[in-house]
């Protein structure tokens, strides 16, 4: 054993200093000369640089894996720049990486240059909408789904009056109202990948998308506005009677009541619904 | 339970989601799999589902990267609870992590950062190992990390630090021979002396993996085949330990499963064949300013096997 050199930082001080150096290299340059050994001609700053590079590249790789369509639709360089700004302001505080990119769509929204303008640029709306869709896809893919639901319970939708039912949506269902025909755009984007076609067409027209998972396959389920609102309401209130009354008031369309069971059965088959039971069956 | 009750699982590979379908379909003749615990702790999708199916056919070990045993932050109780919950489902042969810290101030760098090898660190870490073992009700297995810097304050050699840690807490050692080689090249110690001086009875498992040799230093990239020098170190350690569970890690540029499997099977030949001569290349003469500036193409140490994906 060698002897300790005097005036060394405590373990706690050292870790705070080193973490700052890794996450914000410019803040503490030159501080480590007496702390980190030089060998093979590689000094403290160069040795730290290996950790600094590794830190950002490792997390950037995770961000790229979570937002592949955003990279395809815009550019890899633009994405890397935005992701690095994002990581600098949103360092990970989780023991896993599932939520590393969770606030990226919000970050893009906060960062949009036309934030103060009265008329907002469609390109930024598209960007944020696409980022949100990709994040939702990740959440749906990893979240608690309806794969273990008992399929027999869904027959209640056919055999019982709707006002007697409670509906539990799959926790991993995500709902996105996009100002663009986003799913069509993505289909074209991924096709043009293979066929080397011209850039896909982006149509500005609202699309209501349910992001759901059926038998461990995440998919986009395009729904009508009333169906979308029905699902949104069911996320907060499981009582189908209450929810249908609200939808009826909102849309003033009595036909909706007749279509609702078919839609709910379809939604169940796509993994949007985890449970159906009678209101009295608490 | 002590580390002396832990079995020799044979030859295994790190379970990566790219291979789930292959494994489920072909049930390859691999003795066991090691999972990255954090990839499954908060997963309720295809990956977790596939994991539990694969678990029915193979023994497993849970290998973590976020315990942060060396951190001066308090131990993360929520993480430990999630780890324990996962272990009740997976029923691993053991749970391992690294001799490192990953962050302070409740942040996570997702890197395996080195601790100064001092009495202060040793006391701090041993006290935390006791806490973790009491909570998990099983011995913890800790791995030597690959390191790119050493601290002027360090007073204990890494092998002694590991030995003392195991002696004081009853924890087991996971010895990554590639990490020893990478660190030896980066700091200039003798890797043979390192493996010779380890307390071999405390070694529960060995890791094998590939690295990137940049001339004046090496990066632990887990992106290629195991180097000849590392195989040679493995053969020596194999003789010292008399045979312990061995696992191949491959985390970037991941090849098809049969390629990975072939690489793993080399460990069998090393075990059975004659002890190869150990010829390690010596470190080159010091040359200043050789570390590349930040570029996208830089090799990344400790690559994360980040799980994104659904059923195929
Ligand atoms: Fe390892």
Among chain B residues, CA nearest to A81: B296
Q: Is the pLDDT of residue B46 over 80?
A: yes
Q: What is the pLDDT of residue B309?
A: 67
Ligand 1 centroid distance, CA of B67 (Å):
15
Question: Angle, nearest 10°, between helix axes A104-111 and A76-89?
Answer: 100
Mean pLDDT throughout B253-279?
A: 76
pLDDT confidence of B312, banded at 50, 70, 90?
low
Whole-complex ipTM: 0.90
The 8-class DSSP code of residue A4 comes to P
User: CA A276, CA A260: separation in Å to the nearest integer?
Assistant: 14
**To the nearest whole angstrom, how far is the Cα of B166 from the nearest Cα of chain A?**
18
User: CA A187, CA A191: separation in Å to the nearest integer?
Assistant: 6
- Contact criterion met (CB below 8 Å) for B250 and B13: yes
pTM higher than the cut 0.90: yes
The per-residue pLDDT of chain B, averaged, comes to 90
**To the nearest whole angstrom, how far is the Cα of B268 from the nearest Cα of chain A?**
33
A157 or B298, higher pLDDT = A157
In CATH, what class is B11-291?
Answer: alpha beta
Q: Is the pLDDT of residue A89 over 90?
A: yes
Q: What is the pLDDT of residue B54?
A: 98
Ligand 1 centroid distance, CA of A279 (Å):
54
A18 contacts chain B (CB < 8 A):
yes
Residues of B in contact with A12 (CB under 8 A): 72, 104
B134 or B292, higher pLDDT = B134
Collect residues with CB below 5 Å from ion ligand 1: B 176, 207
* Domain boundaries along the sequence of chain B: 11-291
Residue B131 burial by Cβ neighbours in a 10 Å radius (0-12, 13-18, 19+): middle
Q: What is the pLDDT of residue B274?
A: 44
- Contact criterion met (CB below 8 Å) for B266 and B224: no
Q: Is the pLDDT of residue B291 over 80?
A: no
Q: Would you mind telling me the total number of residues written for chain B in this entry? A: 312
Which domains does chain A carry? 13-26+40-142 (no CATH), 145-282 (3.90.930.50)
Mean pLDDT throughout A245-264?
A: 91
Which residue bears the tokens 């596939």?
Answer: B50
Q: What is the pLDDT of residue A255?
A: 87
Distances (CA, A) of A3 to A36, A180, B117: 16, 67, 12
Mean pLDDT throughout B83-109?
A: 98
Q: Comparing C-alpha atoms, which of A173, A174, A168 is closest to residue A149?
A: A168
- Contact criterion met (CB below 8 Å) for B171 and B203: no
Question: According to the per-residue pLDDT averaged within each range, which of A7-21, A33-47, A250-264, B83-97 is highest?
Answer: B83-97
Mean pLDDT throughout B10-17?
A: 96
Q: Is the pLDDT of residue A28 over 70?
A: yes
Mean pLDDT throughout B127-131?
A: 98
Q: What is the pLDDT of residue A33?
A: 86
Q: Which of A2, A5, A15 to mutate to test the interface with B (most CBs of B within 10 A)?
A: A15
Q: Lowest mean pLDDT: which of B38-52, B57-71, B211-225, B280-294?
A: B280-294
User: CA A160, CA A165: separation in Å to the nearest integer?
Assistant: 8
Residues of A in contact with B16 (CB under 8 A): none
- Cα A83 to its chain centre, rounded Å, is 14
Q: Tell me the sheet residues that pair with B137.
A: none
- The pair of structure tokens assigned to A234 is 């069911």
Q: What is the pLDDT of residue B269?
A: 83
Residue contact A141–B45, C-beta within 8 A: yes
Print burial letters for A146-155: b (CB count within 10 Å at least 16), e (below 16). Answer: bbebeeebbe
pLDDT digit string, tens, across residues B139-172: 999 999 999 999 999 999 999 999 999 999 999 9
Q: Is the pLDDT of residue A126 over 90?
A: yes
Mean pLDDT throughout B205-218?
A: 94
pLDDT digit string, tens, across residues A142-172: 999 999 999 899 999 999 999 899 999 999 9
Helices within B16-74 (DSSP H only): 20-26, 38-41, 46-55
Residues of B in contact with A36 (CB under 8 A): 149-152
């Amino acid at each position: 054993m060698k002897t300790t050199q005097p005036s060394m930082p405590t373990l706690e001080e050292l870790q705070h200093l080193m973490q700052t150096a890794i996450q914000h290299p410019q803040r503490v340059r030159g501080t480590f000369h007496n702390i980190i050994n030089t060998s093979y001609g590689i000094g403290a700053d160069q040795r730290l640089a290996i950790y600094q590079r590794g830190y950002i590249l490792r997390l950037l790789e995770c961000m790229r894996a979570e937002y592949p369509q955003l990279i395809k639709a815009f550019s890899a360089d633009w994405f890397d720049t935005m992701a690095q700004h994002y990581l600098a302001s949103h360092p990970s505080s989780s023991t896993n990486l599932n939520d590393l990119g969770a606030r990226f769509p919000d970050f893009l929204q906060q960062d949009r240059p036309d934030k103060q303008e009265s008329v907002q640029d469609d390109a930024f709306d598209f960007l944020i909408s696409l980022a949100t869709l990709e994040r939702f896809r990740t959440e749906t893919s990893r979240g608690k789904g309806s794969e273990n639901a008992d399929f027999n319970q869904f027959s209640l939708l056919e055999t019982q009056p709707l006002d007697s039912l409670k509906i539990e949506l799959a926790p991993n269902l995500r709902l996105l109202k996009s100002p663009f025909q986003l799913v069509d755009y993505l289909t074209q984007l991924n096709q043009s990948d293979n066929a080397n076609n011209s850039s896909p067409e982006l149509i500005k027209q609202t699309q209501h998308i349910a992001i759901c998972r059926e038998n461990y396959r995440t998919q986009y389920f395009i729904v009508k506005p009333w169906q979308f609102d029905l699902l949104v309401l069911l996320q907060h209130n499981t009582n189908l009677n209450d929810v249908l009354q609200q939808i009826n008031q909102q849309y003033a369309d009595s036909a909706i009541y007749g279509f609702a069971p078919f839609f709910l059965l379809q939604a169940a088959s796509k993994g949007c619904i985890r449970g159906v039971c009678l209101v009295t069956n608490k | 339970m002590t580390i002396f009750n832990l079995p020799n699982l044979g030859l295994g590979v790190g379970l990566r989601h790219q291979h789930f379908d292959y494994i489920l379909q072909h049930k390859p003749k691999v003795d066991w799999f090691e999972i990255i615990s954090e990839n499954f702790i908060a997963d309720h999708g295809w990956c977790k589902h596939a994991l539990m199916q694969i678990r029915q056919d193979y023994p497993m070990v849970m290998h973590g990267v976020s315990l942060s045993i060396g951190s001066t932050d308090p131990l993360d109780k929520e993480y430990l609870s999630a780890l324990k919950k996962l272990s009740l489902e997976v029923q691993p042969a053991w749970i391992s992590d690294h001799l490192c810290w990953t962050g302070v101030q409740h942040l996570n760098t997702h890197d395996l950062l080195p601790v100064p090898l001092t009495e202060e660190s040793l006391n701090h870490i041993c006290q935390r190992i006791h806490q973790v073992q009491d909570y998990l009700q099983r011995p913890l297995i800790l791995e030597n990390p690959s390191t790119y810097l050493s601290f002027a304050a360090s007073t204990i050699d890494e092998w002694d630090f590991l030995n003392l840690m195991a002696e004081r807490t009853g924890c087991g050692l996971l010895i990554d021979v590639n990490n020893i080689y990478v660190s030896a090249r980066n700091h200039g110690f003798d890797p043979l002396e390192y493996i010779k001086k380890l307390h071999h009875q405390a070694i529960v498992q060995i890791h094998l993996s590939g690295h990137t040799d940049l001339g004046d230093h090496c990066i632990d990239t887990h992106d290629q085949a195991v180097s000849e020098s590392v195989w040679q170190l493995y053969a020596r350690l194999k003789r010292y330990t008399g045979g312990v569970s061995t696992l191949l890690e491959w985390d970037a540029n991941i090849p098809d499963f049969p390629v990975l499997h072939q690489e793993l099977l080399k460990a069998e030949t090393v075990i059975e064949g004659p002890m190869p001569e150990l010829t390690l290349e010596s470190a080159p003469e010091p040359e200043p300013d050789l570390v590349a500036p930040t570029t996208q193409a830089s090799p990344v140490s400790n690559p994360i096997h980040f799980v994104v994906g659904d059923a195929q």
